[in-house]
């Protein structure tokens, strides 16, 4: 089996466990003639299933003020968060969610503890969010955080550049890789917690073993993204 087939199979197996996006192909077909970024209609929102996933993040109001928040539940179409400062209904919000990255949308509901946001995103972005949430839910359910049994493959393109935040770079060999991280052979022993970029993918050093260094990606990756970089 090729690397791309292995990555695609890995994504498909976890997606079959938790159906985060229903009628996905129908929505993508109907969206083909629509603007690249738009809000979901009521019927479209029903096609997404929310999951409870307590991720941390930060959000920015239209006033440009930033505050910490915690996700209560989320789907590829909307997100509910606990927040110390609550915006107004209809206000556009940008949220940076740990492991998921940047999302944005408009407040559609407020409460004493926070607000719910209707996401504004392209069909491709929603597909990516659904895949990321599926991976995170299954990872927590089966206690597979940094578990080397989780669908790692040997990439065809093993030579890569590892870059630090100060611009220093090292040549390394990618030993194996998954949607959530990679193991590399590296001469330098970098501190655990160090922010790095493997190729084009940001991550952090999480562990050292006898002959390799483990990197956790800051965001769950799409199989296509890994395929384009590492084959």
Mean pLDDT, residues 96-108 taken together: 89
Total of domains in the chain: 2
Q: Of the residues 96, 113, 141, which one is the last residue of a structural domain?
A: 141
Q: How far is CA 154 from the centre of its chain?
A: 22
Whether residue 108 is found in the same domain as residue 217 = no
Residues 31 and 102 in one domain: yes
Residues 137 and 172 placed together within one structural domain of the fold: no
* Dihedral in degrees, nearest 10, Cα atoms 140, 182, 195, 11: -50
Pairing of strands 159-164, 169-177: antiparallel
Tokens of 116: 């719910």
Question: Does residue 53 carry a pLDDT above 60?
Answer: yes
Q: Are residues 38 and 108 in the same domain?
A: yes
Helix crossing, 3-17 with 123-141: angle to 10°?
70
- Taken in order 196, 161, 131, 101, the sign of the CA dihedral is positive
* Alpha-carbon distances of 213 from 4, 32, 41, 133, rounded to whole Å: 23, 42, 46, 26
CATH number, residue 23: 2.40.10.220
Task: Looking at the structure, tell me whether residues 55 and 127 fall in a common domain.
Answer: yes
**CA distances, 126 to each of 48, 78, 121, 122, 211 (Å):** 10, 10, 6, 6, 38
Do residues 145 and 160 lie in contact, with contact meaning Cβ atoms separated by under 8 Å?
no
pLDDT at 18: 37
What is the pLDDT averaged over residues 6-14?
45
- What are the Cα distances from residue 69, in Å, to 57, 109, 132, 194? 5, 16, 19, 24
Task: Give the residue ranges of DSSP H helices in the chain.
Answer: 3-17, 24-30, 42-45, 123-141, 223-230
Q: Which domain holds residue 192?
A: 159-230
169 and 115 share one domain: no
| pLDDT level of residue 150 (50, 70, 90 thresholds) | very low
Of 28-37, 56-65, 176-185, 202-211, minimum mean pLDDT range: 28-37
């Amino acid at each position: 089996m090729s690397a791309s087939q292995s990555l695609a199979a890995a994504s498909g197996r976890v997606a079959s466990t938790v159906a985060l996006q229903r009628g996905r192909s129908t929505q993508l077909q109907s969206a083909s003639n629509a603007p690249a970024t738009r809000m979901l209609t009521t019927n479209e929102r029903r096609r997404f299933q929310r999951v409870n996933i307590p991720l941390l993040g930060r959000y920015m109001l239209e006033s440009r003020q930033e505050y910490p928040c915690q996700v209560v539940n989320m789907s590829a179409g909307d997100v509910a968060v606990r927040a110390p400062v609550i915006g107004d209904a209809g206000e556009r919000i940008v949220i940076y969610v740990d492991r998921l990255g940047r999302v944005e949308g408009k407040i559609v509901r407020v409460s004493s503890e926070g607000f719910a946001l209707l996401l504004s995103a392209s069909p491709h972005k929603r597909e990516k969010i659904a895949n990321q949430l599926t991976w995170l839910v299954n990872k927590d359910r089966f206690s597979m955080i940094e578990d080397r049994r989780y669908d790692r493959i040997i990439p065809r393109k093993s030579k890569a550049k590892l870059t630090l935040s100060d611009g220093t770079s090292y040549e390394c060999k990618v030993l194996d890789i998954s949607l959530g991280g990679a193991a590399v052979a590296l001469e330098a022993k970098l501190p655990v917690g160090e922010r790095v970029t493997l190729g084009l993918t940001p991550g952090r050093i999480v562990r050292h073993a006898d002959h390799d260094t483990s990197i956790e990606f800051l965001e769950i990756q799409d199989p296509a993204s890994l395929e384009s970089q590492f084959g």
